[in-house]
């Protein structure tokens, strides 16, 4: 997801006349190699005389902010997306991550969150004062992600998702709900776009649930528009999430969406207005209401696209980032 919005942002800033350097490739897991990364980043910042450093996510954010402090970089902006000390972690690790974020917050001038809910969590956890935390939603290119008519009319309703196949995304729940839906009177098929370490396990679960011929694993796709265009309903039963680009792209293509009842979605998906929000026991019933009514799917889909166009357009995100990064 990071490259999907950082590269267009860098391109926009270059077009505006700013000199931009990009650095990728930090390992996810904490290790002694991080000391080497800090030193290498420090050397880069010092040699290039960088005026503004923008870092994002907890790992790169930690390395970059320490290196910038050592190099004397004038302005440091950290995009957190969402707090890293989520409830699925052991208590001791949550406390450690919260303390680290509090310490590192002193090494930057601005922290950016994707949503007001994320900002509230950071302020409540006393990571930084509210005035230091800005909300800039991730944006999508709505001209690119536009509604595409189905190539042919069919009575089969396709329910799909786009996600990494990791435990947090809840794809196992999607398969179990799909198994219930396929036993009803409305013909249903499932599509899963994405890859990850759980793919074989999820494929085995699909076979166990009798979905071998009813769900398709499409793997990772560079351009997901054609995959989204094949769907009638988009779902994301994630257990935790920042502001989901996948959901915004689906909404931009006028797909009705059903998402988990978690804080990150509450500004993006307004229940019964721009999509449906499902609590754990409601997934089957919420999706079923969309299977039963094509007009309801169309109404929610059009409202979803209008909402994204108004509040989550990529151009607005670029302008907001430029103001924060360089004061333009």
Could you give the residue range(s) of every CATH 3.40.50.2000 domain in the chain? 2-138+314-326, 157-311
Burial of residue 149, with CB atoms counted within 10 A of its CB: 0-12 exposed, 13-18 middle, 19 or more buried: exposed
CB 185 within 8 A of CB 260: no
Residue 305 has φ and ψ, to the nearest 5°, of -65, -45
HSE-up (13 A, CA, CB side) for residue 239: 14
Residue 272 has φ and ψ, to the nearest 5°, of 70, 0
The whole-model pTM stands at 0.84
- From the list 283, 281, 275, 327, the residue with the least C-alpha distance to 303 is 275
Whole-angstrom Cα Rg for the chain = 21
Q: Residue 68's CB: how many other CB atoms inside 10 A?
A: 24
For residue 239, the model assigns a pLDDT of: 86
CB contact set of 18 (below 8 Å; sequence gap of 6+)? 322, 326
Q: Which fold has domain 157-311?
A: Rossmann fold (3.40.50)
- The first and second tokens of residue 277, run together, are 């929000």
Determine the Cα–Cα distance for residues 320 and 274; give it in Å rounded to an integer.
24
- Mean pLDDT for each 10-residue chunk of the chain (328 residues)? 74 93 69 84 94 91 95 95 78 90 96 89 93 92 90 83 94 97 94 96 97 95 93 93 88 97 87 95 96 96 96 93 86
Residue 249 has φ and ψ, to the nearest 5°, of -65, -40
For residue 196, the model assigns a pLDDT of: 95
For residue 274, the model assigns a pLDDT of: 96
Determine the Cα–Cα distance for residues 163 and 104; give it in Å rounded to an integer.
30
CB contact set of 125 (below 8 Å; sequence gap of 6+)? 83, 85, 98, 101, 102
Tracing tokens 């500004």 back to the chain, one arrives at 267
Q: At what angle do helices 294-311 and 283-291 cross, to 10 degrees?
A: 110
Sign of CA dihedral 26, 28, 32, 35: positive
For residue 116, the model assigns a pLDDT of: 86
| Class of the CATH-defined domain 2-138+314-326 | alpha beta
For residue 149, the model assigns a pLDDT of: 83
Determine the Cα–Cα distance for residues 182 and 190; give it in Å rounded to an integer.
9
- From the list 128, 138, 2, 124, the residue with the least C-alpha distance to 65 is 128
What pairs with residue 55 in β-bridges? 78
């Amino acid at each position: 997801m990071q490259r999907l919005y950082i590269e267009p942002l860098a391109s926009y800033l270059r077009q505006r006349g700013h000199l931009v350097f990009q650095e990728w490739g930090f390992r996810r897991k904490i290790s002694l190699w991080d000391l080497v990364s800090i030193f290498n980043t420090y050397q880069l910042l010092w040699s290039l005389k960088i005026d503004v450093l923008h870092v994002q996510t907890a790992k790169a954010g930690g390395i970059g902010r320490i290196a910038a402090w050592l190099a004397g970089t004038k302005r440091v902006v950290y995009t957190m997306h969402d707090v890293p000390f989520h409830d699925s972690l052991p208590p001791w690790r949550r406390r450690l991550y919260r303390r680290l974020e509090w310490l590192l917050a002193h090494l930057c001038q601005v922290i950016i969150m994707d949503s007001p809910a994320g900002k509230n969590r950071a302020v409540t956890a006393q990571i930084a004062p509210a005035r230091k935390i800005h909300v800039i939603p991730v944006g999508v290119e709505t001209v690119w992600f536009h509604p595409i008519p189905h190539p042919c009319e069919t009575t089969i309703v396709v329910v799909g998702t786009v996600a990494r196949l990791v435990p947090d995304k809840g794809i196992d729940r999607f398969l179990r709900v799909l198994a219930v839906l396929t036993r009803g009177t409305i013909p249903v098929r499932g599509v899963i776009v994405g890859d990850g370490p759980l793919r074989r396990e999820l494929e085995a679960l699909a076979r166990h649930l009798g979905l071998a011929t009813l769900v398709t694993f499409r793997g990772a796709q560079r351009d997901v528009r054609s995959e989204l265009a094949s769907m009638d309903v988009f779902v994301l039963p994630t257990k935790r999430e920042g502001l989901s680009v996948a959901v915004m792209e689906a909404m931009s293509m006028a797909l009705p969406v059903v998402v988990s009842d978690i804080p990150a979605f509450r500004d993006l998906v307004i229940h019964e207005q721009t999509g449906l929000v499902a609590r754990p026991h409601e997934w089957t019933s919420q999706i079923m209401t969309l299977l039963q009514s094509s007009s309801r799917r169309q109404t929610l889909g059009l409202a979803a696209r209008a909402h994204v166009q108004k509040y989550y357009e990529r151009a607005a995100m670029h302008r907001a980032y430029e103001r924060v990064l360089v004061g333009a």
